[in-house]
Structure 1
Amino acid sequence: MAVEVKLEHTKQDPTTDARERIGKSLRSDIKGKIQAAFAVIAPKGARGWESRDVVAGLLAGRELRYRYVGQQAGSDYPQKGFITGSVRDLVDFIESAAVPAERIEHVGAEVASAIDNAAGILDGAIPDKHPDRARITQAVAADSDWSGMKVAALVWLNAFLLQNAIAAQSSGNNGIKSVDELRSETGQLSRSKVKQAWQKILVVNYKSIFHPALEALPLRADENAVKKALTLLADAAEEMAGLPEGGTTSVGGDIYAKVTTNRKSAAAYYTLPAVAEFLVRMALPDRYVPCSLGDWAQAAAQEYRMGDFACGTGTLLKAGYQRLRALVEGDADEAALSGLHEWMLGKGGIAGFDITTIAAHLTATGLAMCQADQTYDHKSNVGVLALTGKPPRTGSIELLDKKAHLYDLLRETVQTSSGTDDTKSGSSLVADNASFDLLLMNPPYSRMTGGDRKTENDKRPRMYSWLSDKDREEVEKRQKKLAGKAKEANLTAGLATVFSVIAHNKLRPGGRLALVLPMTAATGRYWRAARAMFVKHYDDLVLVFYAEGGMMSHETGMREMLLIGTKRTRPRSEHDSAPVVNVCVDRAFATTAEAREVARAVNEASPERRDAHDGDGAHKGVLRVGETVVGNWLRTRHIGSESWIAVGVSDMDLLTQVDDIARGEMCLSATNSTRKFPISTLGQQFELGGSHETIGHIKGNDPCGAFELHPLDPNDRKLRPDKFLWAGKADNTNQLTVKPDHYGEPNPNPTRAHKTMQEIRNSRADLLVRRDLRFTSQATLVVTTTPIKVIGGPAWTTLMKRKDDGEVHDLAAFGLLVWANSTLGLMSQWSQGGLQQAGRSRIPQRNLHHLPCPDFRHDDIRSSLQSLCDAERKKIMGLKLDPAMNAATDESRHYLDGLVAEMLGFDPKHIKPLRDAWVQEPSVRGTKALKGAETDESDNEDEDEQETTE
């Protein structure tokens, strides 16, 4: 790499000179060419680099300015301006950005290929039913012989990496050789030399790492095949060694995700390394010191504890431990660091639990490599919890039971340094309540079942699908029993709510919580109790998400978010609101260097946000790295379980204006003034029908409700007294009048009917509001009318006349029809709904009551409404609408916007800036191009029966 430095007073930008150095050769005695360059602007006083005062000033925090320089100007980071930071910040940045992302991805692909090839060599060399096959599969706890070969190859690669680290870092390493020193003259590795080296390491330490590697070595397989396989993996380890720590492809975080085969059926996804880096920087910012201690050296001495009870391959724990070491290093000496390592790994300071043996193995390895020359007794608190057995066990879910015995399966096959069996005593993992300073987790999100559908075509993965039906039923029964003890946990939402409760129980007051959660956590109805828990018990709540939605874990295909907070000593009153800072990051983190700098930008805004907690200070702000905007933030306040509506919104200014509209204030952009109008809610002006769970079900699905429903044939001439508007299909929702699509018959199995048929029939209406909106693929209709009175369903809820409204109802219904289908009405529903899927919004049934809308009963609105109804009703009912994503060009939508402006008394031109900004929201346009741009997606996809779970 090259670092180009210019002095500040020269007014010279070092970027051009730094870029010119990329690709050039270094000195003749150094192999390779410059791959990365950094431009640094040093303060004027730094001219005398040899001066002790200058060096001391820089080390004490005197600021530099710097940036990463790519081969092309568009690949610089930041793209505009320079980052300001200390020498420590610069070193951090260089370490994590020194190798280009393309190089890291290339090495990752090469290593994954080497693992596949090594596994293939072994698979071809070991005959079927050969004892070595079963031995390898058992040693790495794989679910098949082929999977066993791949995981064994991964374990050996991992052992080679740690072996090299031990050999390089240890001054008196008891003769432990690097992998390169074991090679023959031809460059190959023999089974006997590898075995001998690993056995020597076992005498010193690292039982949980090298024992499985030794157990998986084939005893009688062809020697040449074993040589080829081991040599391939040793070469891959050498390739990985060329990447610096912090910018490297990690075995746990990246490679394991590429070579495992059953992750989707297990709903096992792993945190992206850049996301892990961002999360720990948010949880442990530079200013943070735990437990009110004077410095980090004191914190280390007083046994700081961190944990992850769904640790996977340890990406979060390793990132957290490295961050902890960096903070301690600023206040402590080398002895304190060694003592910290002994406490964390040897005496249980770090707790990492998983249900997969190989995952826990990789976690232990990654942590050990942080200080490979430091030995410790094998009393690690990283291990494997049983998922089955007698009595039934549920992995980390057992932590809900205060009396649970956390038996560590990882130690079942591991011998202590003295050679004695460690399975009889001292083999329990430890996780006492209120004992952790930091908990980092990306909990599994799978549900108890693959949804409510029980059809043969249901391909969604079921939790623990690799277990036998009997074992799975026992595990699920035990889980339900344990989760039933925690009111904040809801298995319908998935295991993430359960793990959130576990983390809360284990965290001590003042401790920091950092979670990766599905975006449904922000608005999902089954997350209500968990949201109330966070609001009641946590300060400094920060919610982070990507503007484009997107994943924070490998291949989930889900929109995810981060939650960071500090546990309170005393809970809030149920009536007190909690300040929440919503952070929208413009794009997914490309590298750990980018993640670090964005986290620093968020944390540096914290004094401004902290002032805002008391009602003063800024309400929102922009995040910058250098002069480049990387995101924005908005402070909101929340009580109890109400939805966190800002999550998923990329333009916080837009959301602020939508919030103003919900209070009856329209910003008049041209005059910088506001127009106030009477505001109310849907529930205050209409009676709402019930939810679909009480109404009925489509024949063949879960038999809930009073009715069994069947599709309604338009040519059917039979008398059908009970008709429904159940789904929202594209060919039936392009105008403001919609025909019913189903008819109902009495449920033949009414045991789960919570209401009688007559009660449900009483909810019939010819005005309905839609709960599930698709903004991209069909005409977006929020409120509709039907030719006859119908019953609603999962997509539609009926709106009935309130008893005291009399003739006002018809006029209010017309007003709602115009308002709800205008851009302002769409934005109102969008802001209250869940934005966990791009291009879609779903508003919970209970939130419909609080959906803001103008007060159509108010005298100021009624008079203008009456004239509009008389003059425009016929035209309105004949309008054909486009998908909401095309609102900026949809003439029918513009016409409705004009009527709303006339109804509320302002010029319709003030709606245009809001409309133009809203259609740019990723949650509105999804992955599609706006109208007029090319798109390869169909705009005419039908919507099947709505999902009944979030």
Structure 2
Amino acid sequence: MTAYRHREETLNTQLAILLSRFGVHADAETIQAKGRERPDVLFNWRGLRVVIEGKFADHPQAREVVLGDAWGRVQRGIANIAAAVVYPSSLRIVATPQLLDSLESSVLAYCMISESEETTWFEGTPAAIMDALRRTQETMAQDDTVAKIAQSLLEQLTGVVLIWIGQTGACDRLSDLLGMPAPKGETEDKAEGRRTTAAKVSALVLANALIFQEQLAITDSRVTPLRKLEGRHNLVDAAHDHWQWIWQNINYVPIFQLGERVLEELPSSPATLTAFRALLREARAICTHQSALRHDLMGRIYHWLLHHAKYLGTYYTSVSAATLLLKLALSRPWNRDFGDPAQLAKFKVADLACGTGTLLMATAQAVSDAYILARANTGRSLSPVDLQTLHRAIMENILYGYDVLPTAVHLTASTLALLAPEIAFVRMNLYVMPLGLDGGTPRLGSLDFIGKSEVQTQITLDQSQIEIIRAGADQTQATSATIPELDLCVMNPPFVRSVGGNLLFGSLPDERGAMQSELKKRVKNLQANITAGLGAVFVALADASLKPGGRLAFVLPHALASGEAWGATRKLLADRYHLEIVVSSYDAERPNFSENTDLSELLFIARKKQTGMEAAETTTYINLWRNPTTIHEALDLAERLKTLPEGIIRPPSGSTGEAFNLPATTSAENWHGALFARSDLAKAFLALRQGQVRWPGQAAVSVALCPVSKIGSIGPDRRRIHEAFDLYNDVPTLHPAFWDHEADKVRTLRQQPNAWLQPRTTPRYADRAATADYAAYPYQLWSMAGDILLTERLWPITHRVLAVSFDQPVLGNTWWALKTEVSPERRKALLLWLNGSLSLLAFFGSRVATRSAWMQMKKPAWAAMPVLDVRVLSDAQVTSLAAAYDALCDRELLALAQLNVDPVRQAIDEALIAALGLPDLAPLREMLAREPGLTGKSAVLSK
């Protein structure tokens, strides 16, 4: 009888085979040479790297040894979850043909280790191990340890600020140090806000330096641990001197020099000592959670501290959204071996408005995943030296960051460095860009790169980048910032626009005019519309820096999908890129992907065409019904999307959203797939644009449609009306108006004027020069008045109509006047159509989503919208629809979001069905009533 004596790697191979039966792809280690350090079994599961380490029970101290191996994998960042497994000794001598079956039924000892916990030892079969892994992953997805730690530190920082806030002199000095000087004419309220922000950020800078000091002390004996520092007699002075020594003798200038300078601005007082001691103790507590430091902990807190949009007009990307975006981007096919250090070092990624580095941190994590899995899957080592090679490449070669806020860039540097604090990096490609007037020359931050490959700046984060341009006691440091040819550009650009509140460069009121003029000059040759905001300009700038085959991965307002001002950007992307993925959030609670805003946003990934002659590709639209709130939920979602080409996304916690593919758009065409939470309704809308009433399961029925512009002309916008007329509520004039759109008053299709307009002889606004014949201008506008008003802004949760009718021409401030030449009876048929379900579908698919269910409809969108072509209807059809209008025009409608239970809306639809031979529209009403973008409610039923 043959005697078997299996080695551990044989069991690991069999365990990998068993795990594959549970739907995972696991690669067992192949021992090829001494020193090739790899986990026993490593696989990617639900977006997490999972390691299984195994030992036989007859190994000395088997549990302790294998548990230590598993912990090491998690602590070094090789795995997010590790399972320590002990095989029964009896499996050593099972015949090889029977080994797999024996292992499947064997009882193994196992312990689970994650970034946040270690379980006790359990016993069970391999199936039980998979169950335990599943529970661990689900716990991680729901339990965001990083968020809890961040909240704890935030509370401590808030307490510190309360201690400092009364010290106005110190807060003003801190404000200057942090690049937030007091503007001219600052009000007392704004000064208080600026000082509070400066105190908050300063406290965070100190906490950040303390945490980093503790991390350095783990691997560098020259650095004092916090426990020892806390015992020093003069704690604040001791920290100041030690931080100065660290940046002068080791490195990490961005972290410790800034911390030192903050301490120098604080008065020597009991309040300063109390605050600093509280921060030190919180930093010590945070350092007991090592895994949290590998995530964007400080960036998240910075976002919370600046709970309003930062003064430069941008919101910061949420950590979960950044994780999702970069995992999706890095999971696309790349012509590169991410496991090869030489190829890895040539991969270039930049964020031209990096803020605190949330997107760069997510990039670092996604690149690390790609590196580790590529090496594990091809039998290459994963030793500590290999991981150092990875982190050095990320910091010194791969990532480039640019921003105008010094404190934000400092936090970027420290967050990234915490990935591997034991490595003293030679350089970090992070730049603080100048913003404002520099000797009369406008400086526009990263936008200075428009038309340039190199920009001079006076601030640097890294001694290796410094160029001494003038020697002497007051020597000046300068650096040349450049953007390399990029493989990937990631961004959440500033949201500010040049219209509305005109926030463009609003943080610099004294310099705004000159800077806006300079920006207009520079963008003349770019394919971007400033009206859309700086986001459109940054897309064009990123395009200029991206190599063929490279990708854009952006967070932008949802208006990009359909907004008129974003048309130039959509055309740029359609002409030069394959739009690969668009992610929208139809989560009623979180339509956004940035912190501290409820503005609707989207994510997109686009690949630059190699030649411009490639065949068109489809675009995958991912419409989320539940927007991930944690890193692990985002990882799970990204992993599922790798293998789900289309369909409902369904993790264990319940349906999350839907993915579906549509043909690539052309020119400035809207991204229609991003405008619907459900694909069935999107397909119904696309069919309607082609003159067909159809949805899945419903055969197509043709209907005669035409653009609104073919039936009539649309009047002036509200700014022109405000400019040319004075408004009166109590003085009748020859120019009646319909002012505002109050849902509790506008209940029916037929309305009466509620205000009057009086022509002005001079323009209301200073930017409009009065001409000699200006007095005729109001009458020119009045000639565009109409007896139909189309809604301009809509809140369908309360608003009831899309169009209203009048007995005389009117103008409105929140409406577009429609002037038609059709007969009164055909006009009635048009009004009936405009308030039916099919019109709402056309409106919904053409809207600009702004905030939750709020939507806008600009003049060009209304002009192009398909409506019933009442000009070609038969007399019998017209008579039937006109009679229905007469019967329904004074009946009260329910809110548009309630169309499925509104008897008047149903009656409108039935009149259209009878006259036009349409199918039953009840299914369409039901589909619309389930759209979160219309109702503001969740797309999934609560359990």
TM over 0.5: yes
* Structure 2 Cα separation of the partners of residues 662 and 415 of structure 1: 56
What residue in structure 1 maps to residue 704 of structure 2?
679
What is the alpha-carbon distance in structure 2 between the residues aligned to residue 929 and residue 317 of structure 1?
A: 32
The aligned runs of 1:23-172 (5 Å cut-off) are: 98=140, 101=143, 103-122=145-164, 129=169, 136-143=174-181, 145-168=195-218, 170=219
In 1, Cα distance between the equivalents of 2:848 and 2:433? 36
Structure 2 residue aligned with 1:211, among 245, 257, 260? 257
Q: Deviations over 1:260-295 (max 9, x none)?
A: 47745442321111111111101111x533xx2344
Matched to 2:713, the amino acid is L
Change (3 A) 1:52 1:894: farther
- Name 1:691's counterpart in structure 2: 716
- Farther off after superposition, 678-687 or 96-105: 96-105
For 2:448 and 2:650, the matched residues in 1 are separated by 43
CA–CA distance in structure 2, aligned partners of residues 685 and 50 of structure 1:
85
User: What code does the residue aligned with 2:750 have?
Assistant: T
| Whole-angstrom distance in 2 between the partners of 1:276 and 1:269 | 13
Give 1:350 shift.
1.8
Alpha-carbon separation, structure 1, partners of 2:680 and 2:782: 44
For residues 414-563 of structure 1, what are the structure 2 equivalents within 5 Å?
A: 427-432=479-484, 435-448=485-498, 450-451=500-501, 462-467=503-508, 469-486=509-526, 488-548=527-587, 550-563=591-604
* Aligned match for 2:820, one of 800, 805, 829: 800
Looking at structure 2, the residues matched to 6 and 294 of structure 1 have their Cα atoms a distance apart, in angstroms, of: 26
**Which one-letter code corresponds to 2:514 in the other structure?**
E
Query: Deviations along 1:103-132, whole A, 9 cap, x unmatched?
Result: 5444322211222333444567xx665xx6
Q: Secondary structure at the match of 1:429?
A: strand
Q: For residue 675 of structure 1, report the CA deviation from its aligned partner.
A: 4.8
Select 2:692's aligned residue among 665, 677, 687: 665
Q: Residues 690 and 182 from structure 1, CA distance in 2 versus in 1: closer, same or farther, beyond 3 angstroms?
A: same
Secondary structure, aligned partner of 2:438: coil
* Equivalent residue number for residue 623 of structure 1: 649
Local SS of the residue matching 1:443 = coil
CA distance in 2, matches of 1:920, 1:626: 23
C-alpha separation between the residues in 2 aligned to 1:99 and 1:883?
Answer: 38
TM-aligned CA deviation for residue 684 of structure 1: 6.5
1:51/1:254 CA distance change after superposition, 3 Å: farther
Gaps of 5+ in 2: 1-15, 23-62, 69-79, 101-109, 115-126, 182-193, 376-380
Tell me if structure 1 keeps the 8 A contact 2:341–2:390: no
Describe the shift of the 1:710–1:652 C-alpha distance in structure 2 as closer, same or farther (beyond 3 A). Answer: same
Name 2:847's counterpart in structure 1.
Answer: 833
- Secondary structure of 1:888's counterpart equals helix
Instruction: Name the amino acid aligned to 1:141.
Output: G
Query: For residues 295-351 of structure 1, what are the alpha-carbon distances to aligned partners after superposition, in whole Å with 9 as ceiling and x for unaligned?
Result: 4415645521111111111111011012112212334555554345444434x5321
Q: Which residue of 2 aligns with 1:947?
A: none
1:634 is aligned to 2:660 = yes
Partner amino acid, structure 1, of 2:935: R
State the Cα deviation string for residues 623-672 of structure 1 (Å, max 9, x = none): 23358432112323322112223324212212212332333333488xx4
Instruction: Indicate yes or no: 2:899 matched with 1:887.
Output: yes
Bigger mean CA offset, 758-767 vs 552-561:
758-767
Deviation at 1:523, TM superposition (A): 1.3
Does the 8 Å contact 2:748/2:891 carry over to 1?
A: yes
Q: CA, structure 1 residues 10+662, in 2 after alignment: closer, same or farther (shift >3 Å)? A: closer
The verdict on how the C-alpha distance between 1:115 and 1:470 changes in structure 2, with shifts beyond 3 A counting, is same
1:879 match: secondary structure? coil
Identity among equivalent positions (%) equals 21
Q: Structure 1 residues 244, 257: CA separation in 2 closer, same or farther (over 3 Å shift)?
A: same
Please tell me whether residue 743 in structure 1 is matched to residue 792 in structure 2: no
Residue type of the alignment partner of 1:473: G
Give 3-state SS (helix, strand or coil) of 1:696's partner: helix
Q: Which structure 2 residues correspond to residues 511-910 of structure 1 after superposition, within 5 A?
A: 511-548=550-587, 550-571=591-612, 579-605=618-644, 608=645, 620-625=646-651, 628-637=654-663, 638-667=665-694, 672-683=697-708, 685-692=710-717, 696-698=720-722, 703=723, 707-713=724-730, 716-718=731-733, 720=734, 722-725=735-738, 727-730=740-743, 733-740=746-753, 741-749=755-763, 751=769, 760-778=781-799, 780-791=800-811, 795-801=815-821, 809-858=823-872, 862-869=875-882, 871-906=883-918, 910=920
- 1:565/1:225 CA distance change after superposition, 3 Å: same
Give the letter for the 1:850 counterpart: A
SS of the equivalent of 1:646 reads: helix
Aligned equivalents of 2:727 and 2:196: distance in 1? Answer: 47
Deviates more, 1:420-429 or 1:827-836: 420-429
Q: Which amino acid aligns with 2:153?
A: V
* Alignment partner of 1:383 is 2:383: no
Shift of 1:581: 2.1
**Aligned-pair Cα RMSD in Å:** 4.5
Q: Distance in 2 between matches of 1:697 and 1:886?
A: 33
- Report the equivalent of 1:327: 370
The AA in structure 2 aligned to 1:581 is T
The Cα of 1:483 is off from its aligned counterpart by: 2.6
Q: Distance in 2 between matches of 1:448 and 1:668?
A: 40
Query: Could you tell me which residue of structure 2 aligns to residue 458 of structure 1?
Result: none
Q: Tell whether the 8 Å contact from 1:508 to 1:567 is kept in structure 2 after alignment.
A: yes
Pair 1:915-2:928 in alignment: no
Contact 1:664–1:677 (Cα < 8 Å) also in 2: yes
Give, in whole Å, the separation in 2 of the partners of 1:189 and 1:47.
Answer: 60
Letter in 2 for 1:624: R
Tell me whether 1:184 sits opposite 2:231 in the alignment: yes
Secondary structure, aligned partner of 1:515: strand
Q: 8 Å contact 2:555–2:603 — kept in the other structure?
A: yes
Kept in 1, the 8 Å contact 2:294–2:419? The answer is no
Task: Name the SS for the 1:393 alignment partner.
Answer: strand
Q: Deviations for 1:88-110, whole angstroms, at most 9, x for unmatched residues? A: x9999968964863654443222
Match of 2:330 in 1: 284
Q: Determine the C-alpha separation between the residues in 2 that align with 1:300 and 1:235.
A: 43
CA distance in 1 between counterparts of 2:553 and 2:672 reads 20
Counterpart CA distance in 2 for 1:445 and 1:52 is 66
Q: Select between 675-684 and 546-555 the one with higher mean Cα deviation.
A: 675-684
Taking a change above 3 Å as real, the CA distance of residues 737 and 98 of structure 1, as seen in their structure-2 partners, is closer
- In structure 2, relative to structure 1, the CA distance for the partners of 1:102 and 1:374 (3 Å cut) is closer
Give the equivalent residue in structure 2 for 1:926. Answer: 936
Alpha-carbon offset, residue 927 of structure 1: 5.8
Cα pair 2:402 2:409 within 8 Å, conserved: yes
Matching residue's letter, 2:333: Y
1:614 corresponds to: none
How many residues get paired? Answer: 815
Shift of 1:602: 2.1
